[in-house]
Amino acid sequence: MSTTRNTSNGPITGFITGLDRRTVVFAFGLYFVGLFATVMPPLFGFFNRMEPFVFGLSFVLFWVFIVSVLIAAGLAALYWVESIRGELV
C-alpha cells in the first residue's frame, strides 16, 4: 500500500504554507487559551448552570463536554496544519 500524499497546491494549502510560523502559533494559542478560559473562574460562573438541560445533561456538563470536543478538534486541526507545512517532528 502506497503512503504518498496529495501534494497539489490548492488554495487552502497555499494559504497555510504562506503563513508565518508566529501567526499559526498565535492563532492556535489564542483558540486554546480562549477555550481554557471558559472552564476557569471567573468565566466558568456564566456557564455553571443546572438548567437548561441539553441532551439530558445539565448545562455545565454539556459545556465541559463541548469544550473537550473543541479542544480535540483544535488539536486535530493543528496537526493537519503542521503536516501541510512540513513541521511534524
Contact 44, 83 (CB under 8 A): no
Does residue 4 lie within any of the structural domains?
A: no
Please give the distance of CA 59 from its chain centroid, rounded to a whole number: 21
Check residue 77 and give its pLDDT: 96
Does residue 75 lie within any of the structural domains?
A: yes
Does residue 3 lie within any of the structural domains?
A: no
Q: What amino acid occupies position 35? A: L
Bridge partners (DSSP) listed for residue 54: 57
Range of the domain at 20: 11-85
Contacts of 34 (CB under 8 A, 6+ apart): none
Distance CA(77)–CA(35), nearest Å, equals 15
Mean pLDDT for each 10-residue chunk of the chain (89 residues)? 59 90 95 94 84 87 94 96 89
Does residue 5 lie within any of the structural domains?
A: no
Check residue 43 and give its pLDDT: 86
| Predicted TM-score of the model (pTM) | 0.79
Does residue 6 lie within any of the structural domains?
A: no
Domain count, the chain: 1
Does residue 28 lie within any of the structural domains?
A: yes
C-alpha cell, 61: 456538563
Check residue 2 and give its pLDDT: 47
Does residue 73 lie within any of the structural domains?
A: yes
C-alpha cell, 50: 443546572
C-alpha cell, 75: 488539536
Does residue 30 lie within any of the structural domains?
A: yes
